[in-house]
Structure 1
Amino acid sequence: MPKYLYRYGPRLFYWACCYSRRVEKMSGLLRAFLTTLLLLMTSPLLFAGEPQSPGGSLSAHQWTKYDWNAGSGRNGAARFEIERGQDGVQLQIVASAPNDARFVHEVAVEPQTLYRFACRARGEHIGSGARGAGISVSGILEGSPDIKGSSTEWQTLEFYGRTGPDQHKLFVTVGIGGYGSLNSGTARFRDVTVEKVGNPPAGITIASLQPPASSASHGGTGGAVIAALGCFGVLLVAAGVILGRRSQDAGERVPDIPATSAAPRERLGRRDVAVMAALTLVCLSVSLINLGGHVAPETGWQAAKAGESATIELGREVELSRIYYYCGINDRSGDGSRFTFAVRNPAGVFVDVTTFTKDNSGVWKFSEVAARTSAVRLTADTSGGRLNEIALIEKGSRAPLAGLRIARKNVSAADQGKVENLIDEQSSFEYAPSFTTGFYFDEIYHARSAWEMLHRIEPYETTHPPLGKLLIASGIALFGMNPFGWRIVGTLFGVALVPLMYLFGLKLFRNRFYAFSSAFLLTVEFMRFAQSRVAVIDVYGVFFILVMYYVILDLFPEGGERPRRDVNLTLLLAGVAFGIGAACKWIALYAGCGVALLVVLRTATELRQRDFPAVWGATGFLLRRFAVCLVAFGVVPALIYLLAYVPYLALPGPGHDLIDVFRLQAHMLNYHRTLQATHPFSSPWWSWPLDLRPMWMYTGEGLPAGTVSTIASFGNPAIFWLGMPCVVSAAFFAVKRRDPRMGAVLAALLFQYLPWVGINRLAFIYHFFSTIPFMILCIVATVRSLEAGHPRFRAATWGYLGIAAGLFIIFYPVLSGLQVPQAYVAALRWLPTWLF
């Protein structure tokens, strides 16, 4: 297809369709299908360029420029010139100050193919202390030999590389300097070529052109955004096809069922399963993208005495620029331990270059150094601190030095682990530490405590019940102590919220479309996505709160309908969900109060409806109901809650008993009641529905100039800003129609939100997470009421769903940590309080 037809054809087709009389007569659903299809056709054009296929000299007009100094705001921006002469196109870079300045060209390549990269180059006054002028590929460390100094003759520079199995494009660069190696001078390039070759010359080193996983995980927005757009677009189309055959399902032609009518019980059909499967698959796919690395340093060394040391021989003399260290988890006595790095000088004497304090576990950190040496000595200034790995970086490189060995060591037999463990997991290294290789936000408490509970160590964090951390520990047990391992279980629970929401909507509205709408809105809700991808415990509490109200909704059958199960069994199932939720996080206690109110109201209704023969008949009924509730919401949850503490009671050492468990409850209550700390991203309860202050959980460091990686937790504006008005309207319609089922949803919402009004402790917008599912149900209930009076409102409903999905796609980078230009994130700060 010609490029101009590819670029403009879909748009012209769409415009033609919009003005076609035939399209004007289409149903709203078919127009939505067509629009989504065309959006999918044109979306790649919004992000993707047209890479040039290799096979000769690269043209001049397609080169872009990269200037480290200009992008970072430093003085000494480079000058770029493109000249055309008798000898062809010549590229010139003049760096008056040390810089990493390059011409960049995008090239289309074939996977797993060998390429030769070559150019002719010469330089003037290029410094000798850093990388000179050369040709390379963006994102990798290898490249051609570089030229330094001054020369009047053109030199041929070349290198060979092989593409990765899924690599279809790369960025060829010619320039001065490189990652962490700034240089100055003038460089000229000509005859830049990229050629596919069959066999390389003998003795040539073949570079891998696939960027390292740590770099790829923070790649550009294009592919990920297109993938997200495609997933949600396909989802809308699939749902439209599945739900659109309304003429074949008379029950779905009634968008609103009065509460007093004898409505059929909701049944899970094949189309329901198909919609839930599609939603779950898309939600899971998007949630797993860039969730976290599968490798992190796990073995380590913990000194038993102060003064213990180990000397690491580098194998050659190198100029170090950074020393990285990854702290492991130890008991609390080891927190705050100090370590010192020293280097050997030419006289053979070790000189201290940096000292650090073990303050955070599970995070790569580094110290800048400037020392030329052949050996490094690590000394534990205090005992008890655990180090899992160290990495040494040579100036001008982004990869750890290879060939390290422990030459001498001064250790104790009482140490935990061997000093050799400090250099045995170099493949887990990441030059720019990020959330993909370490803890972020409250993972430092919850994921750490999960690992400690798994290894029968006194847990670090005891301000929340243990079950949520035990669930995190199950992922660590399966996948290891790495970011993927400590996040995967919470992510799966976050995904499971989506089909659960579909079932809830189906039970509440008795209509597949509204069930789909409820689940879809939760799928694209920002906070569900962000809070389930970080190893904290909120998502577990929210899941079981929704399960509890899903079960208790059966106490309110619609008029003329028999309960789907025995009332006592319903109460017991709700009690089990209550106990599990409370053992994860105390926010489930609010739900327990809401359920208690609903049970009282249901019991009062039964008393009015039943014809008891005498007073003692009603008394007996109340006593039986009270006994069941006591077991369901007292005994059963208490047993579940105590069972969650069994690993705590089984800890070795002095051990714990039930008295210690009760003391922990008092400690938790006192902590949450008296917490008066300050935090820049705290927010009052009334601001949460307004989406005023996101919780900024992560920001990347050491990224290329002009780019950012950030993760924030807040609400989808399409849901939050419409949510509270819809809560009011849903309440109005529920009262007007005497709908007890919608009343149960409103009670759930109020009991999850209003308790925060009277709580004076530090609070954040993520405390609103448990309220969001019920707010979404109120939105869908309002939509249902509007469609009941105006059937053509369905087209606006589809448009609203599309807007909510579109906002999720647009904000995806600031929810997922995707590396994007600073200008992109700045454009998303719609409110002055949106600081992310």
Structure 2
Amino acid sequence: MGPIRYIVYLFPILTIAALLGFFLWYAQTMRAPLAQQLAPLPEKRPFTFAGRRHPLVKKDAIPMVLITIAYAVTAFFNLGSTTAPQNPWDFGDEKSATFAFSEEYLASKLWYFCGLGTGKYQVEISADGVNWLSLWQRKDDPDDSEKVTGYYWADGTGYGASYAMTQNYNQLFKWNEITFDNPQYIRYIRITGQANKGLLELNELALFDENGDRIWLSDSTNPLFDEADTVPETISFENSAYFDEIYHPRTAYEHLRGVEPYEISHPPLGKLIMSVGIALFGMTPFGWRFMGTLFGVAMLPLLYLFLKNLFGRTSIATCGTILLAVDFMHLTQTRLATIDTYAFFFILLMYYFMYRYLTLPDGASFKQCALPLFLSGLFWGIGAASKWTVIYGCTGLVALYFIGLVVKLRRWPEEERHQRAGWTVKILAFSVLVFAVIPAIIYVLSYLPYAAASGDLSLGNLLSEMWENQKYMLSYHNGVTSSHPYSSRWYEWLVNARPILYYMDNSVAGVTTRFAAFLNPVVCWGSLVAMLVCAAQAFRPLWAKLTFFGLSGLGGAASAAWVTGVFDPETDTQTRLLCLVLIVALLALYLVLGWFVSRTFRQSSPIALFILIGYLAQLVPWFFIGRITFAYHYFPSVLFLILALCYVFYTLSKKEEMVPWKPAMYAVTGGAAALYALFYPVLVGITYPSWYGTCILKWFPAWPF
């Protein structure tokens, strides 16, 4: 390809340069004059979250609706097939079935769509109904005796059953292909199942001739051949499960069917939400992806509402909502049928209602406080019953709740002091109810499908099913030590170092289809700097700012040293030394940046503290997790990254008489939207020329394009 391939490096250079220019301009704009820096701090203003409320007004409807509709179009585009085989044949208990065709066909290839259950099949064919051939696996790889290198037909007389056609957990609800080394004429086909446990459902078969063309059977009423219209032209993510869709949609479907669930490493509620789409549209790719994509769309008006409440400006709410709409991970992750979408959604809601509580005026009555607290606790409970990562977010809620409680008690109006003790008792008791009791009830009730599958809906069995699953989940997540080519650590998430590739198809020369989960570079890098600004403005005294940066830097460095094996004697010395030098260098850079922003931004803001606490609550727990992790674990943090960038816009807006801040905000937002358009093919799986990935998208060696 020659020198032209190096053009790809211009994109990150220009993006970083533009963001650096924006933040240097921002620092210069916000920096206090030298005389003010040397002067004593102004009189301390009391810390409080309480402030002016900023409800939606009529003019907010237009941007909120337009952004939501525009995003929905891009999100639902090419989401997945609305058809898939729906009529399974159960081969459990070693059942066997023979199917006859009206004429014989020369078949060179077989596609099969797996339903519920795992196991394997003995497949036999005959041209006359008398002489039968069995399907066998070829294993002639000298380096791996278990590797299947092909399939062939042979007389099985005198041998045991071959069971060559597999139905493993990673083959469910997708089209699988078997190519025959020696094509044969088929008029009769006999299939015998061997289930690992319980069900073994096969949904559909399709045969292909020696040219690879589909054989259209003249009598397609035979079971396993009766849904010919669902057989796709090619096998792809559009008609088959991919990545973790082999777990979560299957389990959602099992809940609908009332059978024992397979995926039990997460609480059930996220899969129950997913099952709504399956109930509406069938067990199809569109059906199992529908609810996640819909929740991804619903996040946008909710975020707009949150931003308007936080900052009171339509322009900031609009740009912040656009930033989420054009974030890469938001699009890719919500289109994937996993439960991470629901975690993000409920974290957004629980923090929004906590903010509504915190900003109530000093001395607000118990009645005024009850509704936002109830809703915050309710959505925390629903979120925790969907995925455990929401529990991390609850640590932030707890911190904000008690900070807010102390502030409210300190700033209680003097003329109403006699009411403070009674209010405190009621609010604490109510908080136990909404943040502990109700979430616990929701969590336990989410296990009703487990109890139903066991045939015992008694309270005792429900509690037993729930408790046993908690022990399993804890053991499972502590024991995940396997490697993965696209795994990454928390410090890599911060800078988009290692996207996770979900899908890749290079079957056609010169073009490729693939998509990955990673952040929009403007959101990732720009918001990371904005979070440093929030950290500096979350505290008022300079010593508090510097203490935060010192402690957080040392904590992050210790975590990085631990997970990279710096302290592990089994890691080779050269690697340990290299990692140590790199960690020390990055720590020094972080401390210098912390000192710079602490000196530059002298002011403090409760909004900045709110954003910082939310972000740390989602990120810091990953410092202490040794199991394999991926970029999508950073997804809930995207909410607070966008809030941080919008906070920077907000602080600029306070100087609107001095600087033209809106063009800068629109430029940042427009840059993010431009990158969204540029990377859209690798976010939704549009086939693109290989040169496009090499010359436009592969900004760094670890980016899989």
Task: Please confirm whether the aligned pair reaches a TM-score higher than 0.5, indicating the same fold.
Answer: yes
- In the alignment, does 2:345 pair up with 1:543? yes
Q: What pairs with 1:381-530 in structure 2 (closer than 5 Å)?
A: 382-383=194-195, 384-404=199-219, 420-530=222-332
- Aligned with 1:535: secondary structure? coil
- Aligned with 1:831: secondary structure? coil
Q: What pairs with 1:164-313 in structure 2 (closer than 5 Å)?
A: 264-306=52-94, 308-313=96-101
Q: 1:261, CA displacement in angstroms?
A: 12
Higher strand share: 1
Name the residue aligned to 1:664.
469
Q: 1:561, CA displacement in angstroms?
A: 11
Q: 1:651, CA displacement in angstroms?
A: 2.2
- In the alignment, does 2:121 pair up with 1:338? yes
Q: 1:627, CA displacement in angstroms?
A: 1.1
Q: Matches of 1:563 and 1:717 in 2, distance apart?
A: 44
What amino acid is the match of 2:109? Answer: R
- In the alignment, does 2:125 pair up with 1:323? no
TM-score by length of 1: 0.63
Name the residue aligned to 1:63.
none
Q: Matches of 2:479 and 2:56 in 1, distance apart?
A: 47
Seen in structure 2, the aligned counterparts of structure 1 residues 314 and 292 have a Cα distance that, compared at 3 Å, is farther
Q: 1:449, CA displacement in angstroms?
A: 0.2
Where does structure 1 lack aligned partners over 5 or more consecutive residues? Answer: 1-257, 407-419
Name the residue aligned to 2:490.
685
* Residues 345 and 372, structure 1, Cα contact 8 Å, conserved in 2: no
Name the residue aligned to 2:166.
357
- Aligned with 1:442: secondary structure? helix
Q: Matches of 1:482 and 1:537 in 2, distance apart?
A: 17
Q: 1:599, CA displacement in angstroms?
A: 1.1
* Residues 51 and 359, structure 2, Cα contact 8 Å, conserved in 1: no
Where does structure 2 lack aligned partners over 5 or more consecutive residues? Answer: 1-45, 136-151, 154-163, 540-601
Seen in structure 2, the aligned counterparts of structure 1 residues 676 and 737 have a Cα distance that, compared at 3 Å, is same
Q: Matches of 1:558 and 1:619 in 2, distance apart?
A: 18
Q: 1:739, CA displacement in angstroms?
A: 2.1
Q: 1:263, CA displacement in angstroms?
A: 6.6
- In the alignment, does 2:637 pair up with 1:771? yes
Q: 1:421, CA displacement in angstroms?
A: 2.4
* Residues 366 and 427, structure 2, Cα contact 8 Å, conserved in 1: no
Q: Matches of 2:480 and 2:69 in 1, distance apart?
A: 40
Name the residue aligned to 1:715.
519
Q: Matches of 1:712 and 1:737 in 2, distance apart?
A: 40
Q: 1:279, CA displacement in angstroms?
A: 0.8
Q: Matches of 1:264 and 1:835 in 2, distance apart?
A: 47
Q: Matches of 2:219 and 2:228 in 1, distance apart?
A: 10
Give the number of equivalent residue pairs: 560
- In the alignment, does 2:688 pair up with 1:820? yes
Seen in structure 2, the aligned counterparts of structure 1 residues 740 and 561 have a Cα distance that, compared at 3 Å, is farther
Q: Matches of 1:695 and 1:676 in 2, distance apart?
A: 17
Q: Matches of 1:291 and 1:805 in 2, distance apart?
A: 21
1:501-552 per-residue CA deviation (whole Å, 9 max, x = no partner) reads 1111100001000011110000000111011101100111111111011111
Q: Matches of 1:262 and 1:439 in 2, distance apart?
A: 48
What amino acid is the match of 1:606? Answer: K
Match of 2:652 among 769, 786, 789: 786
Q: Matches of 1:280 and 1:615 in 2, distance apart?
A: 46
- Aligned with 1:693: secondary structure? coil
Name the residue aligned to 1:554.
356
Q: Matches of 1:314 and 1:708 in 2, distance apart?
A: 40
Seen in structure 2, the aligned counterparts of structure 1 residues 613 and 481 have a Cα distance that, compared at 3 Å, is same
1:782-809 per-residue CA deviation (whole Å, 9 max, x = no partner) reads 1232344453232222122111111111
Q: Matches of 1:302 and 1:349 in 2, distance apart?
A: 23
* Residues 398 and 431, structure 1, Cα contact 8 Å, conserved in 2: no
- In the alignment, does 2:698 pair up with 1:829? yes
Match of 1:729 among 513, 518, 533: 533
- Aligned with 1:676: secondary structure? coil
Q: Matches of 2:281 and 2:385 in 1, distance apart?
A: 24
Seen in structure 2, the aligned counterparts of structure 1 residues 564 and 514 have a Cα distance that, compared at 3 Å, is farther
* Residues 343 and 351, structure 1, Cα contact 8 Å, conserved in 2: no
- In the alignment, does 2:607 pair up with 1:805? no
Q: 1:304, CA displacement in angstroms?
A: 4.1
* Residues 259 and 738, structure 1, Cα contact 8 Å, conserved in 2: no
Identical amino acids, percent of aligned pairs: 33
Q: 1:818, CA displacement in angstroms?
A: 1.0
Name the residue aligned to 1:626.
428
- In the alignment, does 2:448 pair up with 1:646? yes
Seen in structure 2, the aligned counterparts of structure 1 residues 728 and 559 have a Cα distance that, compared at 3 Å, is farther
Seen in structure 2, the aligned counterparts of structure 1 residues 577 and 304 have a Cα distance that, compared at 3 Å, is closer
- Aligned with 1:272: secondary structure? helix
Q: Matches of 2:322 and 2:615 in 1, distance apart?
A: 19
Farther-moved stretch of structure 1 (710-719 vs 618-627):
618-627
Q: 1:351, CA displacement in angstroms?
A: 5.3
Seen in structure 2, the aligned counterparts of structure 1 residues 537 and 400 have a Cα distance that, compared at 3 Å, is farther
Q: 1:578, CA displacement in angstroms?
A: 0.7
**Structure label with greater radius of gyration:** 1
1:72-108 per-residue CA deviation (whole Å, 9 max, x = no partner) reads xxxxxxxxxxxxxxxxxxxxxxxxxxxxxxxxxxxxx
Q: Matches of 1:294 and 1:590 in 2, distance apart?
A: 36
Seen in structure 2, the aligned counterparts of structure 1 residues 356 and 514 have a Cα distance that, compared at 3 Å, is same
Seen in structure 2, the aligned counterparts of structure 1 residues 351 and 341 have a Cα distance that, compared at 3 Å, is closer
1:616-670 per-residue CA deviation (whole Å, 9 max, x = no partner) reads 9765554333212111111111111122122222225467431121111121122
Q: 1:455, CA displacement in angstroms?
A: 0.6
- Aligned with 2:453: secondary structure? coil
- In the alignment, does 2:185 pair up with 1:373? yes
Question: What's the RMSD between the two structures over aligned residues?
Answer: 2.7
Name the residue aligned to 2:663.
795
Q: Matches of 1:618 and 1:788 in 2, distance apart?
A: 35
What amino acid is the match of 1:271? Answer: K
Q: Matches of 2:76 and 2:527 in 1, distance apart?
A: 28
Match of 2:406 among 576, 601, 604: 604
Q: Matches of 1:680 and 1:470 in 2, distance apart?
A: 31
Name the residue aligned to 1:676.
481
Q: 1:700, CA displacement in angstroms?
A: 2.7
Seen in structure 2, the aligned counterparts of structure 1 residues 341 and 404 have a Cα distance that, compared at 3 Å, is farther
- Aligned with 2:394: secondary structure? helix
Q: Matches of 1:560 and 1:645 in 2, distance apart?
A: 41
- Aligned with 1:380: secondary structure? strand
* Residues 263 and 561, structure 1, Cα contact 8 Å, conserved in 2: no
What amino acid is the match of 2:165? Answer: F
Match of 1:706 among 488, 510, 523: 510
Q: 1:323, CA displacement in angstroms?
A: 0.8
Q: What pairs with 1:120-135 in structure 2 (closer than 5 Å)?
A: none
The structure showing larger relative contact order (alpha-carbon pairs under 8 Å, at least 6 residues apart) is: 2
Q: Matches of 1:560 and 1:609 in 2, distance apart?
A: 6
Seen in structure 2, the aligned counterparts of structure 1 residues 634 and 263 have a Cα distance that, compared at 3 Å, is closer
Q: Matches of 1:437 and 1:692 in 2, distance apart?
A: 31
Seen in structure 2, the aligned counterparts of structure 1 residues 564 and 793 have a Cα distance that, compared at 3 Å, is farther
* Residues 579 and 637, structure 1, Cα contact 8 Å, conserved in 2: yes
